[in-house]
């Protein structure tokens, strides 16, 4: 029996998820709400926004959807999984109680403390004066984090008191992030290599996915402001199997055990941002959904049947002991619009996507794209495309990805040129 699937969201992550489930032998119809111009070539677009929980549930019920996969964090925090399960619909995504791990960084810190998970020390504040006094005492560098959802832009790594003060003012005085910034965390600055560890969770069963490493800063060399992510690669050469297992136990399994102790069921993705410090791995934060752009480099490498895994997790069934992966790496380069991340340019005509997609090993995932009245592909957001490429080595994957980037053009296009460079260097040193 074939399964009809609805993917909720409209970015590069959702495009990759559509691509992944379509490879399954058991796939039926594929819908995406609201989707984007690129996803529209691979799925039937549904004009329902991701925050319209009732409208999405009505559609899933009306079309007899066998599985709904929720991409963005906001509807999960708002309780979309609770709405769907309350109506007897099969949905992949945690309840709002589980999604609070991402919805509140203060809550995540409290869970980590109870679970004995190593993390950066932090203090939470709701008023500027108290936060400023603490800052004067603790000093810099320090990490300033908006407690709630801020689309990946609520974190400032402040190397000076003045930078930290500016971030505090943005949140607590200027209200740049609205309610998400009403509480602010001042967090210990940790040094080390960062990585993303995503795991599929089905109540008591945990299936860790391959490690990935993303790039948050807008410019080469990790300079400039944070973004939603400018590129990614997988696997991470520095993460050996024994360390990978240690991090999965430390970050994922302990968290799920603590949630279970509190009576919270979790069926979805738990994504831990981890930093490898000199004193061992420490968890920086949690997300409750697939990462973007991590998904765009994990899905192309995945050999296991994604649909089967997601269905099992959504039903609370046993997961496989391990996922199967192609041996070579994948590198994904994000192309962003002019002005990003402070702003974005929309309506700029995009050329060369089909030529890039035709390259060996290359997939182009759409994030912020649309069609204008003339039917041309145009920019419609900050991050526009992710050009992902697999290869036998990091050198080959990087060459293919950047060859694809070189074929695509639109006014104001910007991308980093160093995605995967350190992994390629490490690979070449070992060989």
Q: What is the pLDDT of residue 241?
A: 85
Nearest to 347 by CA among 383, 377, 367: 377
Measured between alpha carbons, how far apart are the two ends of the chain, in Å?
47
Q: Give the residues across from 124 on adjacent strands.
A: 185
Mean pLDDT value of segment 182-198 = 92
Is residue 36 in a domain? yes
Lowest mean pLDDT of 81-95, 147-161, 366-380, name the range: 147-161
Residue 294 or 172, more confident: 294
Same domain, 176 and 197: no
Domain containing residue 15: CATH number: 3.40.50.20
Domain identity same for 35 and 82: yes
Overall pTM > 0.75: yes
The reply to whether 344 and 422 lie within a common domain is yes
User: Does 267 lie in the same domain as 358?
Assistant: no
| Residue 382 Cα distances to 40, 126, 335, 345, angstroms | 19, 30, 9, 7
CA 58 from centroid of its chain's CA atoms: 27
261 occurs within a structural domain: yes
Residues 290 and 198 in one domain: yes
Flag whether 399 is in a domain. Answer: yes
- Tell me: do 302 and 201 sit in the same domain: yes
* Structure token digits, residue 175: 């209200």
Q: Look at residue 320 and tell me if it is in a domain.
A: no
**Of residues 397, 427, 287, 395, the one with CA closest to residue 333:** 397
Rounded to whole angstroms, the Cα distance separating 303 from 319 reads 15
Peptide bond into 141 cis (omega under 30): yes
CATH number at residue 400: 3.90.600.10
Determine the Cα–Cα distance for residues 345 and 413; give it in Å rounded to an integer: 10
What CATH number should be reported for the domain holding residue 153? Answer: 3.30.1490.20
Boundary-marking domain end, from 270, 287, 315: 315
DSSP string, 60-114: HHHTT-SEEEE-SHHHHHHTHHHHHHHTT--EES--HHHHHHHH-HHHHHHHHHH
Q: Which domain holds residue 379?
A: 330-430
Flag whether 100 is in a domain. Answer: no
| pLDDT confidence band for 340 (50 / 70 / 90) | very high
Mean pLDDT estimate for the chain? 95
178/198 same-domain check: no
Output the pLDDT for position 78: 96
Lowest mean pLDDT among 24-38, 222-236, 349-363, 381-395: 222-236
Q: Are residues 86 and 199 in the same domain?
A: no
Q: Is residue 394 part of a domain?
A: yes
The two tokens of residue 98 are 């589980």
State the pLDDT at residue 152. Answer: 66
- For residue 265, tell me if it sits in a domain: yes
| pLDDT at residue 238, as a whole number | 84
Q: Is 324 a member of any domain?
A: no
- Asked if 278 and 340 sit in the same domain, the reply is no
> When comparing pLDDT for 156 and 418, which is higher?
418
Domain count along the chain: 4
Choice between 376 and 243, residue whose per-residue pLDDT is larger: 376
**200 and 310 fall within a common domain:** yes
Does one domain contain both 161 and 200?
no
Residue 79: pLDDT band by 50, 70, 90 thresholds?
A: very high
Please say whether the beta carbons of 285 and 194 come within 8 A.
no
CA distances from 131 to 50, 144, 177, 355, 372 (A): 35, 10, 17, 52, 47
């Amino acid at each position: 029996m074939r399964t009809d699937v609805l993917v909720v969201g409209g970015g590069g992550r959702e495009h990759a998820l559509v691509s992944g489930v379509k490879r399954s032998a058991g796939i039926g119809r594929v819908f995406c709400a609201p989707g984007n111009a690129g996803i529209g070539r691979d799925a039937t677009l549904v004009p329902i926004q991701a925050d319209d929980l009732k409208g999405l549930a009505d559609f899933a019920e009306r079309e007899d959807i066998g599985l709904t996969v929720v991409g963005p964090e906001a509807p999960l925090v708002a309780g979309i999984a609770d709405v769907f399960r309350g109506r007897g619909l099969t949905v992949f995504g945690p309840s709002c109680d589980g999604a609070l791990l991402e919805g509140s960084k203060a809550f995540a810190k409290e869970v980590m403390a109870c679970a004995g998970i190593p993390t950066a020390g932090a203090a939470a504040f709701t008023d500027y004066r108290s936060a400023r006094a603490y800052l004067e005492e603790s000093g810099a560098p320090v990490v300033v984090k908006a407690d709630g959802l801020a689309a990946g832009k609520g974190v400032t790594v402040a190397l000076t008191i003045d930078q930290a003060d500016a971030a505090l003012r943005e949140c607590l005085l200027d209200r740049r992030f609205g309610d998400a910034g009403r509480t602010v965390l001042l967090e210990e600055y940790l040094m080390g290599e960062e990585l993303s560890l995503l795991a599929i969770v089905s109540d008591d069963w945990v299936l860790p996915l391959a490690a990935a490493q993303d790039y948050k800063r807008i410019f080469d060399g990790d300079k400039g402001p944070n973004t939603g992510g400018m590129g990614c690669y997988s696997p991470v050469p520095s993460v050996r199997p024994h360390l990978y297992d240690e991090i999965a136990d430390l970050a994922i399994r302990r968290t799920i055990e603590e949630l279970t102790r509190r009576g919270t069921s979790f069926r979805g993705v738990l994504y831990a941002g981890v930093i490898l410090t000199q004193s061992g791995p420490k968890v920086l934060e949690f997300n409750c959904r697939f990462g973007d752009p991590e998904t765009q480099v994990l899905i192309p490498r995945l050999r296991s049947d994604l649909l089967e895994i997601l269905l099992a997790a959504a039903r609370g069934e046993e997961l496989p002991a391990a996922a199967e992966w192609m041996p070579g790496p994948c590198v994904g380069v994000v192309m962003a619009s002019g002005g990003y991340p402070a702003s974005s340019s929309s309506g700029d005509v995009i050329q060369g996507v089909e030529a890039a997609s035709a390259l060996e090993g290359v997939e182009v995932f759409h994030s912020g794209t649309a069609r204008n009245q003339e039917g041309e592909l145009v920019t419609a957001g900050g991050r526009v495309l992710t050009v992902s490429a697999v290869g036998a080595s990091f050198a080959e994957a990087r060459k293919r990805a950047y060859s694809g980037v070189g074929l695509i053009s639109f006014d104001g296009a910007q991308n980093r040129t160093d995605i995967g460079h350190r992994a390629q260097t490490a690979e070449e040193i070992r060989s």
